[in-house]
Amino acid sequence: MAFSLRERQIMGIHGLLPPFVTDQDTQVSRVLANFRRWDNDLDRYIYVMGLQDRNEKLFYRTLMEHVEVMMPVVYTPTVGLACQKYGLIYRKPRGLFITIHDKGHIYEILCNWPEHDVRAIVVTDGQRILGLGDLGAYGMGIPVGKLALYTALAGIKPQHCLPIVLDVGTNNKTLLEDPMYIGLRQPRVEGDEYDDFIDEFMEATIRRYGQDTLVQFEDFGNHNAFRLLERYRDKYCTFNDDIQGTAAVALAGILASLRITEKKLSENTFVFFGAGEASIGIAKLVVMAMEDEGTSAEDAMSKIWLVDSKGLVTKNRPSGGLNSEKEIFAKPHENIDTLVDVVKKLKPSVLIGAAAVGAAFTDEIIQLMASNNKRPVIFALSNPTSKAECTAEQAYTQSEGRAVFASGSPFHPVEYKGKTYHTGQGNNSYIFPGVALGVILCGVRHIPEDIFLRSAQALADQVTKNDLSEGRVYPPLSAVQDVSVKIAVNIADFVYEMGMAARYPEPKDKEQFIRSQLYSTDYEQFVPKLYDWPGQKSCL
């Protein structure tokens, strides 16, 4: 309905639309009115995904201008429920489904994708979707949602983005018996056959789209995530958001919190509840940041403690269960079975939850953190909301308003003793869109860990005194597009300085260059020239 009368006449659709010509502003208002009309977030998700299929520019403009309202529906926490119900709400194909039975023909399947200029791929095998476990092909909601944020939060053009599910089966018995399940109905393929399949996918991707195509790994199982990152990071332009993106956003929050606690990073003791991709990724980047601060690697490692399902991670634990990633942080210490006893014994100043165990930070644990620290730092980063280690209200009330709190899922502001506390949401969306934007525009072919350290520092630098006074350790989500651009500029400065950029000549004004490449949600206007062909009457 935004087509002008002249445009309607030129295209031959005059009369096929109502006569009123509306503008995009009015259309956005109509979208928001419909969005609010639904009484649950799953129906809102279905509505906005339908809008993305019908009118991409309107979808992105609404999401960009109302990110704080719409992002919890387009992505976490609602996307978790959407993935669980994916077979029920499935409407229209979006992205590529590549199965283990397509082995030997992956390149041909990539050629079926109608867009030829793909710059960024988000791929999952669906084994560990958020904190919900193995959802198989239902995990497609994650790549679709992530890439929507690539565009909405960093201005990466949607035609350059491709969501992919690598379907190797599922070990989720409920899904295998679900008549609406849309994936392969077989147990997961593992071992050499799985590795060969992923190898072929990566090789086919580069053959089809080029060496500097960004491949973001998302929600792979712990045992695959770490080894695939190490396997591919020096051969392809790739990163794992669950390990590196989570690490960067968590480190940014920690760095911002230092302005409240008035401590150096190395003056803190860290306890991580959870020893999977997220926690180990954060721990490694925190160590790297301490070294950047001037602390030795040995001293930095001594500040980090992990707690998994079997208790404190120590060198001589009787239950064993130490993989190579955990073993790095294992220490010679007495075994402690419970988190509350770990907090009592070690007296951490920073407690980070990334174990997807809801309500794990009990009132007692929060009270202990508050009794041991003037300003305890407590991050409950697990998604979706049902898996959060504690709520914002618990953190503030049980600490008597002294906690520096951040969460993975959004929480409403908390009123406590006359003060309003706004929770900082430690969402990866502060990091991965800006990283992707910088990497794509500069032609980076390998992504070193330094990029995530610099991204975390750049994000922390954008937290204002006013944000900190309100309890936030992240900028408000309404500012996230500008955050992404500044992170991209920071990355551009770094990669050109280090000789890692393949795009030449180097832009003199990198911010101006980056902003000039961003996606526009404006409708295109066209008034083609009319020619009077001999013997032909104009229909206008």
Catalytic residues: 75, 146
Q: Residue 88 corresponds to which amino acid?
A: L
C-beta neighbour count of 347 within 10 angstroms: 14
Pairwise CA distance, residues 435 & 325, whole Å = 25
Nearest-10 crossing angle of helices 246-261, 277-293: 50
Residues 455, 248 contacting (CB under 8 angstroms): yes
Nearest to 45 by CA among 18, 90, 82: 82
Pairwise CA distance, residues 520 & 64, whole Å = 11
Nearest to 380 by CA among 124, 141, 131, 80: 131
Pairwise CA distance, residues 538 & 197, whole Å = 58
Say which DSSP state 235 is in.
T
Token pair in block for residue 212: 């500097």
Secondary structure (3-state) at 421: strand
Nearest to 243 by CA among 230, 255, 226, 231: 226
Token pair in block for residue 188: 């997961």
Token pair in block for residue 49: 């995904």
In total, the chain counts a number of residues equal to 540
Token pair in block for residue 384: 């979706």
Sheet containing 214-217: give its strands across: 96-99, 161-167, 120-124, 214-217, 238-240
Chain centre distance of CA 215: 13
Residues 410, 126 contacting (CB under 8 angstroms): no
| Number of alpha carbons in the 13 Å side-chain half-sphere of residue 222 | 17
Token pair in block for residue 115: 């867009």
- Of all helices (H) and strands (E), which one includes residue 97? strand 96-99
Q: How far apart are the first and last CA of the chain?
A: 20
